A = this chain, B = another copy of it.
Amino acid sequence: MPDVQASRDHRRIAIDKVGVKHIRYPITLHCPITGGVQHTVARVNMYVGLPHYQKGTHMSRFLEVLNKHHDELRADQIMRVCEDMRKRLAAEEAHLELNFPYFIHKKAPVTHATGMIDIEVSFEAHTSARRDNGRKVGHDFVMGLKVPATSLCPCSKEISLYGAHNQRCEIQAKVRFAPGQHLWIEELFDIVEKAASTQVFAVLKRPDEKWVTEAAYDNPKFVEDIVRDLAVVLDKEDRIRWYQINSENYESIHNHNAYAFIEKDKRVSGRDVGDA
């Protein structure tokens, strides 16, 4: 049977990424707190670089790699899976991306009623056999979290006789770790969640609802404050060497959202913060 994909291409155009996208796949993650596991369902993208002289990649091999490693699709193993995919596809570069809901157990602040909060987690793994100026490009891993929380507007509180508009917000943090370091999803979640006016919960009894209402009012934050307060903490966290953070606030007084975004690579000279 002819192998069209393996035939020679003459257009002399290499392809940065080619592969399979939007695969839905069940995965199992290890939970540092309980020592148990958590089952969830991911969306998976798998790509390799294709050299200019090859007509096509072999799409079915991506799925075979995925099935072979179905129980290793977690942060501490994903680079091995990505590397195996690179080799199986005979490629110089490989990209493996996962997005999935993850559940965090939380107790209500007063009654301690138990519940779970669902967050969005992403893993982006990239491995390369290329050399840039003789230096191996190697591995790259980005972990991302999207965390729901509450924001309460400082301006609305300040100018109003009573009340203050507040709303659900989604705070996203993508991070690269310092060499040899890492954070658990639960650790990064704790950092991110604290940047908001207050946290959200699944189960809130009336004493809890009173608590979160007052907590939010006591801690008003603009969307700018959320990303800045998060940046302050991430700047001090030595296990993180790069971050990209944003908050999107679903304003209760508008039909559009407020948004703020900061990116920082700590290895590059700091931000220019010359006086005004």
Contacts and interface: CB of A to CB of B under 8 A. Distances in A.
Contact of A53 (B9, B45, B275): B275
Contacts of A258: 18-21, 59
A212 interface: yes
Contacts of A161: 210, 214
A213 B55 contact: no
A275 B118 CA distance: 41
A112 B255 CA distance: 18
A77 interface: no
A57 to B, nearest CB: 7
A178 interface: no
Contacts of A103: 24, 26
A202 B63 contact: yes
Interface of A: 1-5, 9, 11-26, 28, 38-41, 45, 47, 50-57, 59-60, 63-64, 67, 101, 103, 113-118, 148, 150, 152-156, 158-168, 198, 200-207, 209-210, 212-214, 216-217, 222-225, 227-229, 231-232, 248, 250-263, 271-273, 275-276
A38 B148 CA distance: 27
Given A16-B262, A159-B209, A165 B216 contact: yes
Contacts of A198: 253
Given A9-B228, A156-B209, A213-B165, A113 B222 contact: no
13 contacts: A13-B273, A24-B255, A25-B118, A26-B116, A28-B39, A47-B259, A54-B276, A162-B217, A163-B216, A167-B167, A168-B250, A168-B251, A252-B252
B260 A18 contact: yes
Given A158-B4, A217-B163, A271-B52, A205 B60 contact: yes
Contacts of A248: 21
A231 to B, nearest CB: 5
B60 A1 contact: no
B253 A64 contact: no
A164 B231 CA distance: 28
